[in-house]
Chain A
Amino acid sequence: MSARTDGPRRDTPSPAGPNGHSPRPTAPRRSPITLHDLVLLAALAVVFGFLYWALVQLWGWLQVAMGPFGDLAQNALAGGWMVVAPLAVYIVRKPGVGVVVEIIAAIVEVVFLASPVGPMLLLVGLIQGVGAELPFALTRYRRFGWSVFVASGISAALFNLMLGVVRFGWAGQDFFALRVGLQFASGILLCGLLAKVIGDALLRTGVLDNYAIGRAERAAARAQRR
């Protein structure tokens, strides 16, 4: 039997020799996003998209009730809007996952739930996803300590701020400094740290056993027992 078959091949061609053994022992190679991962991302995006959509409905009234500070509520809550991206990267640990999950969440909100923000959400999701995923990409998707999640929150907040400056002209307003402060606090707490808290809680339930996060956990447990 040849090493390469014509069957389903979702992973990159393996460096395996004719007898099926890898020529050198390397770290587990990183395969592209599989259907298994994609459906998980869709499920995550759906739940968070649904919760975001419910939040947006409440938030509209809150905004009007708070008058001129209402628009600032957006910056205070912004981190929560992006939490699904670091969470997805934490679980699947592959390049592009944070961006894909944000885009699916945006599709769900726009196409299926008719969000008041409109199709621009697709662009917003893309930019927020890139922002949240950047620090994980810089560690080559290998480090998942608290500090990386804080960096992810900061980076996502920064990208979101830049987007707001372009979309809503925030920079010309009186409370720009307050906005920046709220945005960063929200990014760190509601996006970065919350993602790790949710991810760890999900891991304990066992639903993530068949994903990268569960495999890494088992590998770590084995290493500890030795």
Chain B
Amino acid sequence: MSATAFGRPLDVDSLLHRRDPAVKLALVLVTSAVVTGVFDPWTPTALYLIALPAVAVAGRIPPRTLARAHVPFALFGLSLFTVNALTRQGEVVGTLGPFDVTAPGLAIGASLAVRTLLIGTLSLGFVLTTDGARLMTSLHQHVRLSGAFAYAVLAGYRLLEQLPQQWQTIRQAQAMRRTRAPGRGVQRRGSRAPHRPVALPRSPRALTRAAFTLLVTTLRRGERMSIALETRGLGAGRRTIHDPARLTPGDAVLTGVVLAVVTLVLLVSRHAGLLAGWGALGVFG
């Protein structure tokens, strides 16, 4: 994802693109909360195998984009799997160096890893089909989020869009100043070809200084924005909404389908004796 694409949906029209952002967010949150209580590997796997093609087709997300976005989720999941497989009590099924691999550890680790992939896929489906600004409008309308809060988040979003550019500018400026500082064994101005690009300093000290400068400039910009918003009367009472977000029958259908699928998978898994909750951890008695 390129830096300029923060908070912008994929540039296509799809079933998921047309749904209301607040409804989509609520569904992702509810599903994530439900699977957080599940600790067997089978239930999240079933949900994941349903969710992956469903999100890809309904959101018209190219398989390549989906695969590339899976890398961070996969790393996170792999780490969760390793730590649980090696550090839980229970029946030992093998050893790896000084650690015992246990059966409950493998099961819980696999469950948490697949859960990460599942939640990751759902969030991708949400982010890649939702416009950030529309989400705030929808939340303002349907969840009664305060207008000031919604606009503050949107102002933050505008600042975020400029951050990568700002970061680059600050680091380049600091690199320029560094080359001019005499007597440090660094290149002096004019001592080599003038158009040769200067390497940006990568020491932790330089990065910390750049991060702090980024914070200061962003706070300055933010204050200017808030003054601009206040002079336009924002935060002074009720407002009308331009281009309101309307709930459609499609949103109800989406909600019904998602909740039905999650319930069905949980019921089938329970009927098959596979479902495991907190009890699988063996901590809460």
Q: Which A residues fall within an 8 A CB radius of B?
A: 7-8, 10, 34-36, 38-47, 49-51, 56-57, 60-61, 63-64, 67-72, 100, 104, 107-108, 110-120, 122-123, 165-169, 171-175, 198, 201-202, 205, 207-208, 210
Please, how many angstroms separate the alpha-carbon atoms of A57 and B3 in the complex?
14
> Of B6, B120, B229, which one neighbours A116 at CB under 8 angstroms?
B120
Is B46 at the interface (CB under 8 A from chain A)? Answer: no
Would you give the 0/1 interface string for B1-13, flagging 1 where the beta carbon is closer than 8 Å to chain A?
A: 1000011000000
- A104 x B152 contact (CB < 8 A): yes
Given A36-B227, A108-B153, A201-B212, 17 more pairs with CB closer than 8 A: A8-B233, A8-B236, A39-B225, A44-B215, A47-B218, A60-B72, A64-B82, A72-B83, A110-B127, A114-B123, A119-B119, A120-B29, A123-B33, A169-B108, A172-B282, A174-B89, A207-B219
- B127 x A114 contact (CB < 8 A): yes
- A60 x B1 contact (CB < 8 A): no
- B83 x A113 contact (CB < 8 A): no
Of chain A, the residue at the smallest CB distance from B25 is: A119
Write out the residue numbers on chain B whose beta carbons fall within 8 Å of the beta carbon of A168: 80, 112
Measured CB to CB, the closest approach of chain A to B80, in angstroms, equals: 7
- A8 x B237 contact (CB < 8 A): yes
Interface residues of A: mostly helix, strand, loop or mixed? helix
Please, how many angstroms separate the alpha-carbon atoms of A143 and B122 in the complex?
43
Q: A43-B221, A46-B159, A112-B132 are in contact. Are A38 and B119 (CB under 8 A)?
A: no
Write out the residue numbers on chain B whose beta carbons fall within 8 Å of the beta carbon of A40: 219, 222-223, 226
Of chain A, the residue at the smallest CB distance from B6 is: A112
Using C-beta atoms within 8 Å of the partner chain, give the interface range for chain B: 35 or more
Measured CB to CB, the closest approach of chain B to A40, in angstroms, equals: 6
Measured CB to CB, the closest approach of chain B to A67, in angstroms, equals: 6
Write out the residue numbers on chain A whose beta carbons fall within 8 Å of the beta carbon of B278: 169
- B88 x A174 contact (CB < 8 A): yes
Please, how many angstroms separate the alpha-carbon atoms of A100 and B89 in the complex?
39
- B221 x A8 contact (CB < 8 A): no
> Of B79, B152, B160, which one neighbours A35 at CB under 8 angstroms?
B152
Write out the residue numbers on chain A whose beta carbons fall within 8 Å of the beta carbon of B157: 46, 108, 112
Please, how many angstroms separate the alpha-carbon atoms of A61 and B160 in the complex?
25
Please, how many angstroms separate the alpha-carbon atoms of A84 and B70 in the complex?
28
Within 8 A of A (CB), among B107-162: 108, 112, 116, 119-120, 122-124, 126-128, 130, 132, 135, 148-149, 151-153, 155-157, 159-160
- A207 x B216 contact (CB < 8 A): yes
> Of B80, B128, B211, B236, which one neighbours A7 at CB under 8 angstroms?
B236
- A119 x B126 contact (CB < 8 A): yes
Is B36 at the interface (CB under 8 A from chain A)? Answer: yes
Of chain A, the residue at the smallest CB distance from B162 is: A46
- A46 x B112 contact (CB < 8 A): no
Please, how many angstroms separate the alpha-carbon atoms of A40 and B156 in the complex?
9
> Could you list some 27 contacts between A and B, CB below 8 A?
A34-B235, A35-B234, A35-B235, A36-B227, A36-B230, A38-B148, A39-B225, A40-B222, A43-B218, A46-B160, A56-B72, A63-B75, A68-B82, A104-B156, A108-B160, A110-B127, A111-B126, A112-B157, A113-B6, A119-B29, A123-B33, A165-B283, A166-B36, A169-B84, A173-B83, A174-B88, A198-B212
Please, how many angstroms separate the alpha-carbon atoms of A143 and B222 in the complex?
27
> Of B130, B214, B220, B283, which one neighbours A207 at CB under 8 angstroms?
B220
- B79 x A47 contact (CB < 8 A): no
Q: A42-B156, A116-B116 are in contact. Are A70 and B163 (CB under 8 A)?
A: no
